Structure 1
Amino acid sequence: MNPSTECIDCKACMKGCLMMGEFTDSPKTLLETIKESPASVAFSCAACGYCAHVCPKDISIEAHFVKRKVELAPTELKNFGYRAVLFHQVLSFSKALTTIKTFRATDFSHMAFMPGCALSSYSPALVKSIIAHLQEACPGMSVLMQCCGKPTRVLGDIDRFEGFYSLLERDIDRLGVTTVVTACENCYMSLKTLSPQVKTLSLYKLLAQIGVPQRDFSEAKPVALHDPCPTRLEKPLHEAVRQILRTIKLPFEEFKFNRDKTQCCGSGGMLALTNPKLAREQMVSRAHQTECETIVSYCQECCSSMSRGGKNGVHLLDLLFDETVAKTLTQPKHGTLTSWINRYKTKRMIASLKG
């Protein structure tokens, strides 16, 4: 059945999606032609899930674009700088940038902490501080430095994605864990969706339970809290993050579009690669939906997007575990080379931890 027959053209999906506004003035018209949509349209979908969530008919335009991307990937991805993505993924799954670490303590040896690519690229010291905190509260929790492969999946290169993802599942099997704790929301959703044999637990939900380092931000200026779009339907995670902010007494304001109605930061769907102009517009649009100068999120890519959009993006984990950022409320900025070096340093640091 053509999805356009169900669409009532209420345009609710267009209110939070710049992509829709760029390519059509009618969701119904877009749906009528979606099976033949050109690559420039299909690969401009940020895959954020907003459309389906606000649609009174539960139509997921994203789901139809996912299918179209898979169809177009073999012939069209080369036109979107995909070689750089493959280079990134091959390195991300290489021995130089992946490792697993176990500890002598066995209390929590059924669990593994997975920091994710973005956090590892951003700050080895931050990852080390988080691991130390977890080892104190949950002795014996393993560490799994691996990629979830989302870039290849979201761009429709399913064969390569399945090959990459099998390496992650191999490492989970090698560790023999039943629970994976993730700091990255993309990793969280990937594992939750694709690896039902393990329990996926957000680091933020765990921190809300075991406690966080003592902080008092009661004198700080109010910040805005941005929810990453992969967490759209994760209500317990939303509340855990807010509980942590209340614990550290950080004054924060909510976006009008928050929690399940949150809007993409501009990095979803590898949009910066496939449609950099639209990605930039989305970053600016989202960042300026608040008057707060500082925007806190629990996704490193979202924090970077808010900074690119003209505001001051800061990761929640920085506020908890980095004394310098906690004092200045400013993240250090890194170039591409430094990010790769940081990932290598993170791997070396994890491998050198005393068991």
Structure 2
Amino acid sequence: MERKIKDYESECVDCRCCMKGCPMLYSFTISPKKLLIKFTTELPTSDMAFACANCGLCAHTCPRDIDFGAIFTASKKNYAEDKKVLKKYGYGGVIFHQKSSFSKLFSTTKKFTKGEYTHMAFMPGCALSSYSPSLVHTVFNYLQSKCSGMGIIQQCCGTPTRAMGDMAQFQTYHSQLENDLAKMGATTVVTACENCFMSLKTYAPHIKIVSLYSLLREIGLPETAKNRYTNASKMALHDPCPTRYEKVIHADVRALLEQIGLPYEEFTFNRERTLCCGSGGMLELSHPSLAYEQMKTRAHQTTCESIVSYCQSCAESMSHGGKNGVHLLDLIFNPTFSMKQEEQGTLKKWYNRFTSRQKIDALKDKA
């Protein structure tokens, strides 16, 4: 890493492009080049490393391809060896989330033995299951009607531990996820969560990963969803930063919005240039004030009162930032949706995940 940082330091022209839209760099420096020079002789402070949202914007905007995120990620991994350091940045909350997420109370799988798509599994992700068990199961029922035999897995991808730099713990959780998928015979996973998509794509390359939104474009939407929102107020579309470079997903989401007839506008910073919603890198635990400021900043980069996203964490962040965050799946699959998500506390979210797990366990083979 030292050689690379020295290369960065010599290449940096101090144009500050990396700082535009970054939730944290302005809090620590006014000169990226000076910061890089400092990093040639010492690690970033833990406070700085754990303030990085790992959104990838700095590397994308830099004319010299300098990646501050990679530097901070490597630093997190070093600091993660000392659990006392991690504890300072909310790691206790991460461990509680991960242990609970992989427990029998909140995780399960359901394999179907008949049908053409028994090799596929739908993975809604933690945030969506916490938000709405009924939405998860409405989506899954529709998928099964089009892809007979598809299974479902309620499990975490392990991103929270990886985002905190604890790679050993991440590998433990990731291995458990892979084992569960293997027991299901799932060689293709359909993800509704962008973190799940990228985690599996990166760390399980032998498994085929398909975005739910790409699959929905392929198999078609329910007839009742088409042109449902032609008279609705315009919303802004926020792209989640984990899938910054997934151009196919960007295009497929926009195609779905066109099909449901929703009037929408693009943020100035969209697709590959999208900004973090404020929840990236576990920022809400490690630096809550920075996270909240980023939520407000992003939410108010549009005059639209409602912001639609295809990530539940992003939708919640836009609501926390002062606007009305909406999930695309509600618009497609919930005809009685009031165009506003119900605000839910932590206990309610865990209860929702428990309810979702119960619904999965109660599923019967329909083929």
Q: TM-score range by the shorter chain?
A: over 0.9
Q: Partner residue of 1:32?
A: 37
Q: Partner residue of 2:20?
A: 15
Q: AA paired with 1:264? A: C
Q: AA paired with 2:44? A: S
Q: In 1, are the aligned partners of 2:23 and 2:53 still within 8 Å (CA)?
A: no
Taking the aligned partners of 1:29 and 1:348, their CA distance within structure 2 comes to 54
- The offset of 1:104, in angstroms, is 3.8
- 5 Å-filtered alignment, 1:1-355, equals 1=3, 2=6, 3-34=8-39, 35-75=42-82, 76-213=85-222, 214-215=224-225, 216-325=228-337, 328-355=338-365
- The offset of 1:107, in angstroms, is 0.6
Taking the aligned partners of 1:81 and 1:300, their CA distance within structure 2 comes to 21
Q: In 1, are the aligned partners of 2:93 and 2:285 still within 8 Å (CA)?
A: no
- The offset of 1:74, in angstroms, is 2.7
Taking the aligned partners of 2:167 and 2:46, their CA distance within structure 1 comes to 17
Which SS does the other structure have where 2:229 is aligned?
coil
Taking the aligned partners of 1:6 and 1:92, their CA distance within structure 2 comes to 43
Q: AA paired with 1:187? A: C
Q: Identity of paired residues, percent?
A: 54
Taking the aligned partners of 1:89 and 1:18, their CA distance within structure 2 comes to 25
Taking the aligned partners of 1:200 and 1:31, their CA distance within structure 2 comes to 36
Q: AA paired with 1:343? A: R
> C-alpha offsets along residues 259-279 of structure 1, whole Å, 9 cap, x if unaligned?
000000000000011111111
Q: AA paired with 1:257? A: F
Corresponding pairs, count: 353
- The offset of 1:234, in angstroms, is 0.3
Which SS does the other structure have where 1:36 is aligned?
coil
Taking the aligned partners of 2:346 and 2:23, their CA distance within structure 1 comes to 27
Larger mean CA deviation between 256-265 and 154-163 belongs to 154-163
> C-alpha offsets along residues 295-348 of structure 1, whole Å, 9 cap, x if unaligned?
0000000000000000000000011112222xx211111100000011011011
Taking the aligned partners of 1:212 and 1:98, their CA distance within structure 2 comes to 28
> C-alpha offsets along residues 274-296 of structure 1, whole Å, 9 cap, x if unaligned?
11111111000000000000000
Taking the aligned partners of 1:58 and 1:98, their CA distance within structure 2 comes to 40
Taking the aligned partners of 1:82 and 1:13, their CA distance within structure 2 comes to 27
Larger mean CA deviation between 294-303 and 155-164 belongs to 155-164
Which SS does the other structure have where 2:209 is aligned?
strand
TM-score (norm 1): 0.98
**Unpaired stretches in structure 1, ≥5 consecutive residues:** none
- The offset of 1:18, in angstroms, is 2.9
Larger mean CA deviation between 100-109 and 204-213 belongs to 100-109
Q: In 1, are the aligned partners of 2:102 and 2:155 still within 8 Å (CA)?
A: yes
- The offset of 1:242, in angstroms, is 0.2
- The offset of 1:96, in angstroms, is 1.4
Which SS does the other structure have where 2:319 is aligned?
helix
Taking the aligned partners of 2:174 and 2:137, their CA distance within structure 1 comes to 25
Which SS does the other structure have where 1:295 is aligned?
strand
Taking the aligned partners of 2:148 and 2:74, their CA distance within structure 1 comes to 44
**Unpaired stretches in structure 2, ≥5 consecutive residues:** none
Larger mean CA deviation between 68-77 and 181-190 belongs to 68-77
Which SS does the other structure have where 1:97 is aligned?
coil
- The offset of 1:84, in angstroms, is 1.6
Taking the aligned partners of 2:26 and 2:189, their CA distance within structure 1 comes to 39
Taking the aligned partners of 1:322 and 1:280, their CA distance within structure 2 comes to 29
TM-score (norm 2): 0.95
- The offset of 1:7, in angstroms, is 1.2
- The offset of 1:9, in angstroms, is 1.1
Taking the aligned partners of 1:314 and 1:40, their CA distance within structure 2 comes to 32
Q: AA paired with 2:92? A: R
Which SS does the other structure have where 2:210 is aligned?
strand
- The offset of 1:224, in angstroms, is 0.2
Taking the aligned partners of 1:339 and 1:291, their CA distance within structure 2 comes to 30
- The offset of 1:125, in angstroms, is 0.3
- The offset of 1:68, in angstroms, is 0.4
